[in-house]
Amino acid sequence: MKISDVERVDLVKWVATIIQLIGYGMTGMNLVPYNIYMFFIGIFLWFAVGCMWKDKAIIVVHVGAFISLLIGYLNA
């Protein structure tokens, strides 16, 4: 059985969402830096979704989130 493009995007989208939620939970439990690693993975996956959809708004917001998170992480 071959997975369709729509199913692939939906899968990536939901995996990214779950990973982001895990990152938020880890932040609430003060599990640093593991929460940041989850956010990086979620950001990358949502960026991939933006590319698959050719949605510039999703791409830009996740590039901005990546840069902000990376700067914060490196300055911590």
Query: Cis peptide leading into 33, omega within 30 of 0?
Result: yes
Tell me how many degrees the CA angle 68-35-30 measures, rounded to the nearest 5.
110
Domain of 69, in residue numbers = 5-75
Residue reference for tokens 């996740």: 62
Of the chain, the percentage scoring pLDDT greater than 90 comes to: 92
- Of 58, 61, 40, nearest to 50 by C-alpha is 58
Total tally of structural domains belonging to the chain: 1
Query: Model pTM?
Result: 0.91
What local confidence, expressed as pLDDT, does residue 64 receive?
Answer: 98
- pLDDT tens digits, residue range 44-74? 999 999 999 999 999 999 999 999 999 999 9
- What average pLDDT score do residues 10-26 get? 98
Contact 49, 12 (CB under 8 A): yes
Work out the mean pLDDT of the chain and round it to a whole number.
Answer: 96
